[in-house]
Chains A and B, each alone.
Chain A
Amino acid sequence: MKISQDRVIGWVLLAVAFSALSSLALITTFIFKEGVPIILKQGVGNFLFSNDWYPGEGKFGILAMIVGSLFVTLGAMFIGAIFGFGCAIVLTQFCPRRLVSIIKPAIELLAGIPSVVYGSIGVVILVPFIRDYLGGPGLSVLAASIVLGIMVLPTVTSISVDALQAVPRAYREGSIALGATQWQTTWMVVLKAARSGLVAAFILGMGRAVGETMAVIMVAGNTLEIPLGLTSPVRTLTSNIALEMGYASGAHRQALFATGVVLFVIIMVLNTIALAVSHSKAAGGRR
Chain B
Amino acid sequence: MSEPQLQSDPPAGQQGLLPKIAIRNFSARFGQSQVLTGINLEVHACERLAIIGPASSGKTTLLRSLNRLNDLNATFAHDGEILLDGQDIYGDSMDVPTLRRRVGMVYAVPIPLPWSIYDNIAYGLRLAGIKGRSEISVRVESSLRNAVLWDEIKDRLRMPAMNLSGGQQQRLCMARVLALEPEVLVLDEPCSGLDPISTAKIEQALAELKDRYSVVLVTNNTKQAARASDRTAFFLMGELVEVGLTGQVFTAPRHERTGQYITGHFG
Q: Are any A and B Cβ atoms less than 8 Å apart in their complex?
A: yes
Expressed in whole angstroms, the Cα–Cα distance for A2 and B93 within the complex equals 11
Expressed in whole angstroms, the Cα–Cα distance for A3 and B71 within the complex equals 12
Q: Does A1 contact B (CB under 8 A)?
A: yes
Q: Does B194 contact A (CB under 8 A)?
A: no
Residue of B nearest to A3 (CB): B96
Expressed in whole angstroms, the Cα–Cα distance for A3 and B68 within the complex equals 12
- Residues from 1 to 35 in A contacting B, C-beta threshold 8 Å: 1-3
Residues of chain B within 8 A (CB-CB) of A2 are 95-97
Residue of A nearest to B97 (CB): A2
Residue of A nearest to B68 (CB): A3
In the complex, per-residue mask of A26-51: 1 if CB is within 8 Å of any chain B CB, else 0:
00000000000000000000000000
* Nearest Cβ on chain A to B111's Cβ, whole angstroms: 22
Expressed in whole angstroms, the Cα–Cα distance for A140 and B55 within the complex equals 71
* Nearest Cβ on chain A to B5's Cβ, whole angstroms: 29
Residues of chain A within 8 A (CB-CB) of B96 are 2-3
State how many residues of chain A have any CB contact under 8 Å with chain B. Answer: 3
Residue of B nearest to A1 (CB): B95
Expressed in whole angstroms, the Cα–Cα distance for A1 and B97 within the complex equals 10
Residue of A nearest to B92 (CB): A1
* Nearest Cβ on chain B to A269's Cβ, whole angstroms: 36
Residues of chain A within 8 A (CB-CB) of B95 are 1-3
In the complex, per-residue mask of B94-117: 1 if CB is within 8 Å of any chain A CB, else 0:
011100000000000000000000
Residue of A nearest to B93 (CB): A1
Residues of chain A within 8 A (CB-CB) of B97 are 2
Residues of chain B within 8 A (CB-CB) of A3 are 95-96
In the complex, per-residue mask of B76-101: 1 if CB is within 8 Å of any chain A CB, else 0:
00000000000000001001110000
* Nearest Cβ on chain B to A7's Cβ, whole angstroms: 12
Expressed in whole angstroms, the Cα–Cα distance for A3 and B97 within the complex equals 8
* Nearest Cβ on chain A to B46's Cβ, whole angstroms: 29
Expressed in whole angstroms, the Cα–Cα distance for A3 and B92 within the complex equals 10
Expressed in whole angstroms, the Cα–Cα distance for A3 and B94 within the complex equals 10
Expressed in whole angstroms, the Cα–Cα distance for A21 and B96 within the complex equals 34
* Nearest Cβ on chain B to A4's Cβ, whole angstroms: 10
* Nearest Cβ on chain B to A1's Cβ, whole angstroms: 6
* Nearest Cβ on chain B to A9's Cβ, whole angstroms: 14
Residue of A nearest to B96 (CB): A3
Residues of chain B within 8 A (CB-CB) of A1 are 92, 95
* Nearest Cβ on chain B to A104's Cβ, whole angstroms: 26
* Nearest Cβ on chain A to B216's Cβ, whole angstroms: 24
* Nearest Cβ on chain B to A231's Cβ, whole angstroms: 59
Expressed in whole angstroms, the Cα–Cα distance for A3 and B96 within the complex equals 7
In the complex, per-residue mask of A157-182: 1 if CB is within 8 Å of any chain B CB, else 0:
00000000000000000000000000
Expressed in whole angstroms, the Cα–Cα distance for A44 and B198 within the complex equals 79
Expressed in whole angstroms, the Cα–Cα distance for A104 and B92 within the complex equals 54
* Nearest Cβ on chain B to A23's Cβ, whole angstroms: 29
Expressed in whole angstroms, the Cα–Cα distance for A2 and B101 within the complex equals 14
Expressed in whole angstroms, the Cα–Cα distance for A139 and B96 within the complex equals 69
Residues of chain A within 8 A (CB-CB) of B92 are 1
Expressed in whole angstroms, the Cα–Cα distance for A27 and B97 within the complex equals 43
Expressed in whole angstroms, the Cα–Cα distance for A74 and B93 within the complex equals 65
- Residues from 221 to 243 in B contacting A, C-beta threshold 8 Å: none
* Nearest Cβ on chain A to B177's Cβ, whole angstroms: 19
Expressed in whole angstroms, the Cα–Cα distance for A2 and B92 within the complex equals 11
* Nearest Cβ on chain A to B97's Cβ, whole angstroms: 5
* Nearest Cβ on chain A to B55's Cβ, whole angstroms: 25
* Nearest Cβ on chain A to B73's Cβ, whole angstroms: 16
Expressed in whole angstroms, the Cα–Cα distance for A1 and B98 within the complex equals 11
* Nearest Cβ on chain B to A10's Cβ, whole angstroms: 12
Expressed in whole angstroms, the Cα–Cα distance for A2 and B68 within the complex equals 14
- Give B contacts to A, CB under 8 Å: 92, 95-97
Subset of 7 A-B contacts with CB under 8 Å: A1-B92, A1-B95, A2-B95, A2-B96, A2-B97, A3-B95, A3-B96
- Give A contacts to B, CB under 8 Å: 1-3
Shortest Cβ-Cβ A-B pairs, 7 listed: A2-B97, A3-B96, A2-B95, A1-B95, A2-B96, A3-B95, A1-B92
